[in-house]
Amino acid sequence: MRLVEHPILQFQRGRRVMFTFDGEPVEAYEGETIAAALHAAGIRILSRTRSGAPRGLFCAIGKCSSCLMTVDGTPNVKSCVTPVRDGMVVESQTGPGRLNPDFRPQRAPARTLGAQVAIVGGGPAGLSAAQTLLEHGVRPVLVDENPHPGGQLVKQTHKFFGSRAERAGTRGVTIARELISRVRDEVELLSQAQALGLYEDGSGRTLVVAHGRRLTLIRSPYLIAATGAEERFL
């Protein structure tokens, strides 16, 4: 089942695509995540623990490990934040998954990027930091692991409570939209990018980021870690 109407959110259905799940064809629409398309097809179990217990969607925003699947040969892909692509091969996995020893991902040569400040995390803290830097004439590079910035705000359709100074009465999704619109045109945004490590040598600091099919080396004297919160499994 797919929602076509929602009292708060609007959906735009993309082009129809097909992918396979454990060898069976599944219909999807561009813009959907793998997990969303599987749910729409009635598939709830995405992976299993080592002991065989079923795992499925939990946080749905890339902040746990409940939806890990093997995608095009790569294990441990967060299917709740990975967009579907025509022809994708998606497989359920058990435990940590297995990497085929013959699998050779195609990698492009690394590129180097200079930045006054690098921010890791595109949620409310990272976006607010970017906005403040821009107000002071500093143009940061923003690294975020999700397809769209906004962090946990993107699932908060409720109105905030508490103090007016902290946006009480405003929906989280609205706050995300506002923050993004303030910085979108001026920051360099690397989406679906994972910060792997920060290295220092005699000539300065380098933040190493996996982005698409290549590594991006961000040379920046300053780093803001705005990685937010995530659920921890017991």
Which residue, 97 or 134, has its beta carbon nearer to ligand FES? 97
Least gap, CB of 145 to ligand FES (angstroms):
10
Total number of residues that touch ligand FES (CB under 6 A) = 11
The residue type at 4: V
Does residue 92 bind ligand FES (CB under 6 A)? no
Least gap, CB of 59 to ligand FES (angstroms):
4
Does residue 160 bind ligand FES (CB under 6 A)? no
Stretch that binds ligand FES, among 4-12, 16-24, 61-69, 119-127 (CB under 6 A): 61-69
Tokens 């400040």 label which residue?
A: 117
Does residue 43 bind ligand FES (CB under 6 A)? no
Sign of the alpha-carbon torsion through 223, 224, 229, 234? positive
| End-to-end CA, the chain | 31
Among 37, 80, 218, 223, binds ligand FES (CB under 6 A): 80
Residue 131 neighbours by CB under 8 Å, 6+ apart: 179, 182, 183
Residue 88 neighbours by CB under 8 Å, 6+ apart: 19, 20, 34, 71, 72
Alpha carbon distances (Å) from 150 to 24, 33, 61, 121, 155 = 33, 16, 10, 9, 9
Which residue, 78 or 211, has its beta carbon nearer to ligand FES? 78
Does residue 62 bind ligand FES (CB under 6 A)? yes
Among 47, 66, 93, 206, binds ligand FES (CB under 6 A): 66
Least gap, CB of 80 to ligand FES (angstroms):
3
Could you tell me which residues are beta bridge partners of residue 209?
A: 195, 216
Q: Parallel, antiparallel, or unpaired for β 16-21 and 24-29?
A: antiparallel
Does residue 60 bind ligand FES (CB under 6 A)? yes
Among 26, 36, 37, 67, binds ligand FES (CB under 6 A): 67
Contact footprint for ligand FES (CB under 6 A): 57-60, 62-64, 66-67, 78, 80
